[in-house]
Structure 1
Amino acid sequence: MALRKETAVHIPCPACGAVNRVPPDRLSQEPVCGRCGGALVPEKPLTVTDSTFAKQVERCDLPVVVDFWAGWCGPCQTMAPVVDAAARNLSPHVRVAKMEVDQNPQTAGRFGIRSIPTIILFRGGQEVDRVAGAMQANQFEPWVRQHL
């Protein structure tokens, strides 16, 4: 999970949207937003929508794992605690986000989400890998870490 040490990491604030510059060596010190004081990399999944996806995922310098899910989906419900645990365990070096596909059809369509859950890992705003279907708890974090 090594980030380049020579430059600051740009992290959009989940609360107010302000883009913050954080030195990589300060990530483990629970950085907060310079504008609103909110946690920049909370230890819980960030909810993203069609209107916040570009800023919170594509403009974030941290790797971002997005869980595309739906409330009526049984496997999605099974994955929820796995995603929650990953947010705690991967913070502050990875941002974990969730997007409810029925409420956000533009982004789900843009990424061709045809089955749920679908988990996509983004780095530098670009898709690196994806998994369609539920993963076991012992598979999820190793899958993320192998792509960092």
Structure 2
Amino acid sequence: MSSAILVCPHCQALNRVPDARLGEHPNCGTCRRPLTTGAPIDANLALFDKIIGRSTGRVLVDFWASWCGPCRMMAPAFAAAAAELDPRVRLLKVDTEAEQVLAARYAIRSIPTLILFKSGAEIARQAGAMDKAGIMRWVASAGGA
């Protein structure tokens, strides 16, 4: 039986979840809070590194800033995509103003920028705001769903 490793967004504990149970909204074995919520996870440097470095599945990251108009316009579409993609694809939001180390590490030159990771490796990148349908198409074409 195949399984996925999910990092708890609350306590950062690692959880092995059988693939067949991913859709059952599993709880963390340590803190008992939901591992998946169908909403993007606001990630700081430590949580980002843990989720990207230890998760076995796909992770879609929105690099954004609060002052960015297109970022704010895309936020509801990204949240709607999370409701549909999670837990098959985990969605993170990284505020490039608060997490400048991550913005520099991934050479973020324009925002919003979406990066799709698989088992810790970047597999696709897209700059510019998209609606929910565009996000879903892009993730599917990039091998994310």
TM-score, scaled to structure 1: 0.92
Q: Indicate if the aligned counterparts of 1:9 and 1:23 stay in contact, CA closer than 8 A.
A: yes
Residue 18 of structure 1 pairs with residue 23 of structure 2? no
* SS of structure 2 residue aligned to 1:130: strand
Residue 121 of structure 1 aligns with an amino acid whose one-letter code is L
Residue 4 of structure 2 aligns with an amino acid whose one-letter code is V
Deviations 1:84-117 (A, max 9, x none): 0011011221101100000001111000001000
- Structure 2 residue aligned with 1:3: none
The answer to which of 137-146 and 64-73 deviates more is 137-146
- Structure 2 residue aligned with 1:94: 89
Tell me how far apart the structure 1 counterparts of residues 131 and 78 of structure 2 sit (CA, whole Å).
10
Tell me how far apart the structure 2 counterparts of residues 94 and 41 of structure 1 sit (CA, whole Å).
10
Q: CA RMSD in A?
A: 1.0
Q: 2:74 aligns with which of 65, 76, 79?
A: 79
Residue 57 of structure 1 pairs with residue 52 of structure 2? yes
Identity of aligned residues (%): 43
* SS of structure 1 residue aligned to 2:46: coil
Q: Which runs of 5+ in 1 are unaligned?
A: 1-5
- Structure 1 residue aligned with 2:28: 33
The answer to which of 66-75 and 52-61 deviates more is 52-61
Q: Indicate if the aligned counterparts of 1:50 and 1:105 stay in contact, CA closer than 8 A.
A: no
Tell me how far apart the structure 2 counterparts of residues 84 and 109 of structure 1 sit (CA, whole Å).
25
Q: Which runs of 5+ in 2 are unaligned?
A: none
Q: Indicate if the aligned counterparts of 1:87 and 1:95 stay in contact, CA closer than 8 A.
A: yes
Q: 1:143 aligns with which of 135, 138, 144?
A: 138
- Structure 2 residue aligned with 1:112: 107
Tell me how far apart the structure 1 counterparts of residues 35 and 120 of structure 2 sit (CA, whole Å).
17
Residue 52 of structure 1 aligns with an amino acid whose one-letter code is L
Tell me how far apart the structure 2 counterparts of residues 30 and 74 of structure 1 sit (CA, whole Å).
33
Shift of 1:58: 2.6
